[in-house]
Structure 1
Amino acid sequence: MAQEVVLDTTMGSITVELYTEHAPKTCKNFSTLAQRGYYNNVIFHRIIPNFMVQTGDPTGTGRGGSSIYGEKFEDEINPSLKHTGAGVLSMANSGPNTNGSQFFITLAPTPWLDGKHTIFGRVKSGMRVVQRMGLVKTGAEDRPVDQVKILRARLVEADDE
């Protein structure tokens, strides 16, 4: 059973497939937070065209958020997983082993992030929604002028295909 999470956003729905074998602790954190409603009504506070869309901070500042393990938890870097293109689901951090609740989805290859950010899934459907997000007008600190937010995050148990 592959685990999936649907992010219902103000711009449409995005389904992400979680890499539970490669990053079990990160996936458990993400899916548990989603199940608890932690990501509901959380904005995408940072959007950079041709790079990534970032969310997961309930304070909306980019400096908040916590994990189910307490404050921060360690990286789960897997050398076989790389930021090779658009649609990679990866943890945002402020240095090694500082994972909390913030995450991003890539809009293009970002190889300079390899080995620094835990990749824990990929966009399975809704990539067009993510691409549209990457085009929204932003202001200071790459913050969208008009709010883009996760209305609801929900778990889906999917059969392996």
Structure 2
Amino acid sequence: MRKAALLLVLLVGLVAAGCGGSSNEGTVTEPETQTESTAAGGTSECTDAEVPTAREDGGATEPKERLDPEKTYGLVVETNCGTFTITLDQAVAPATAASLVALSKDGFFDSTIFHRIVPGFVIQGGDPTQTGSGGPGYKTVDVPPSDAAYTKGVVAMAKSGAEAPGTSGSQFFVVTGDDVGLPPEYAVVGTVTSGLDVVELIGTQGDPATEQPTRPIVVESVTVEEQ
């Protein structure tokens, strides 16, 4: 039964959430009903890739300053299935948005994988250890609004079941179902504003039974756009 309440051991902080060490970040709980996601648009296939060498957990430094509120920040995620862009929502998640920009500029997400792919639900990545148990070595907290909706294209942060709502490390997920019915527990950091067809394609590259990718889906780079 995949509805296992936010595995304490999948994204940011298995037991300790905290800084460095083997902090498992937890994973989002899958609802009972799933629908298959299909790719739309111009992207039709992924190129072959090998799983990059895993890196150690932690090692990053939490940024002390927020982003410029007068600017719009986008994360351009280049993968072996194509490229998509996440536009960050500073109003809802200022601390997490600043963290993701800092991590991206430091190359933290480069040569990582989507380690969890559940068709019709989410694709999940952001772990340098490639296992689903790693993070940057620190946590941010941006409590999502009570009416937060996790619909297709929404990007949010995974956490362990023991952590408070809105707790984030580096592991993020992109919703691929129309409305997956998650509770307002996960910091909402933005929306895919370009390349949703690529996200949908990645969402088909997983085994529903194991929630594991059926082939390596590699994040080759994440770059920051400022407007």
What TM-score, normalized to structure 1? Answer: 0.88
**Matched residue SS, 1:122:** strand
CA distance in 2, matches of 1:41, 1:22: 28
CA distance in 1, matches of 2:97, 2:103: 10
Higher helix share: 1
The residue identity in structure 2 corresponding to 1:93 is: K
Matched, 1:18 2:84: no
Counterpart among 86, 103, 124 of residue 33 in structure 1? 103
CA distance in 1, matches of 2:208, 2:93: 34
Runs of 4+ in 1 over 4 A off after TM superposition: none
Report the Cα offset of residue 30 of structure 1. Answer: 0.9
Aligned residues: 153
Counterpart among 136, 140, 146 of residue 215 in structure 2? 146
Report the Cα offset of residue 72 of structure 1. Answer: 2.4
- Cα shift readout 1:97-152 (whole Å, capped 9, x = no counterpart): 342100000011122x2311111100000000000011114387422131001100
The residue identity in structure 1 corresponding to 2:143 is: E
**Matched residue SS, 1:31:** helix
Residue pair 2:79, 2:218 contacting (<8 A) in 1 also:
yes
Higher strand share: 1
**Matched residue SS, 1:151:** strand
Partner residue in 2 for 1:94: 160
**Matched residue SS, 1:44:** strand
Matched, 1:9 2:79: yes
**Matched residue SS, 2:140:** coil
The residue identity in structure 2 corresponding to 1:73 is: T
The residue identity in structure 2 corresponding to 1:145 is: T
Larger radius of gyration: 2
Residue pair 2:119, 2:208 contacting (<8 A) in 1 also:
no
More deviation, 129-138/43-52: 129-138
Structure 2: state its 5+ residue gaps. 1-70
Residue pair 1:26, 1:76 contacting (<8 A) in 2 also:
no
Q: Percent identity?
A: 34
Matched, 1:127 2:193: no
What TM-score, normalized to structure 2? Answer: 0.64
Residue pair 1:9, 1:152 contacting (<8 A) in 2 also:
yes
